[in-house]
Structure 1
């Protein structure tokens, strides 16, 4: 008898019931020097990189709105806005990790995380 269970977004199942493993990020967290333009842009104006990342994740979103969201969120709630987007990228790309690690990365090295996320989405 066939089951109608399709699995969770974190787990994909082949027709032969073999479970796929989670992926890794294409680029390391500290490989930001590989793209100097993106690196400089992110360190000078992280809100621009965040807005570009959100546009790739949510094509209907506005650049100015996302840029302002990052700016005001960075003044009040720190890494919260970044780690939520990072988690969304991980879930869509089936990348291994967890919410605590996403939050910690954005607390300690938000610009590095933004560059890694931008390169993953490109």
Structure 2
């Protein structure tokens, strides 16, 4: 089966552990110093392009600066991702994971998308054009992005 084309609802596990963030020093450092960038990349793929990386990252930054509750926003994306890929609510609920281990949670989500064949660095549109991860639709472009046939 092609990565990213798993059947919806089929049980699966996270491709990496919550604390496996340290095996990619570049991603780990980026996420520790600028979590808004990693979050923006994750949010664009999870939202299938309806939220751009810049928009997601900017909202995350504004919430972090003005409320300190950015983890509430980011935990909703973890929930969306878990629903899309039938991932377990582990090691604890999404809000607790993001509240206690925000950088590790963001790295785990990023790595999960990579393991499913996406490249969060290039954004949703290029993933669709390149067929990365089947663009999450079993190799078919999402509705509204399909080419017209004759």
Same fold (TM over 0.5): yes
Corresponding residue number in structure 2 for 1:102: 94
Is contact 2:60-2:70 (8 Å) kept? no
Matched with 1:82 is 74
Q: Deviations over 1:72-109 (max 9, x none)?
A: 122312411111000001011110117x7100011101
Deviation for aligned residue 1:63 = 2.1
Q: 104, 109, 113: which is aligned to 1:117?
A: 109
Q: Distance between the aligned counterparts of 1:101 and 1:39, measured in 2?
A: 22
Q: 1:91 aligns with which of 80, 83, 92?
A: 83
Name the structure 2 match of 1:36: 25
Aligned residues: 103
TM-score under structure 1 length normalisation: 0.77
SS at match of 1:115: helix
Which SS does the other structure have where 2:93 is aligned?
Answer: helix
Structure 2: distance between partners of 1:86 and 1:62: 17
Q: Which residue of 2 aligns with 1:72?
A: 62
Deviation, 1:24, is 1.6
Larger CA Rg, structure 1 vs 2 = 1
Deviates more, 1:71-80 or 1:47-56: 71-80
Query: How far apart in 2 are the matches of 1:54 and 1:114?
Result: 10
With structure 2 as the length reference, what TM-score do the two structures score?
A: 0.63
Structure 1 residue runs of 5 or longer lacking an equivalent are 1-10, 13-19
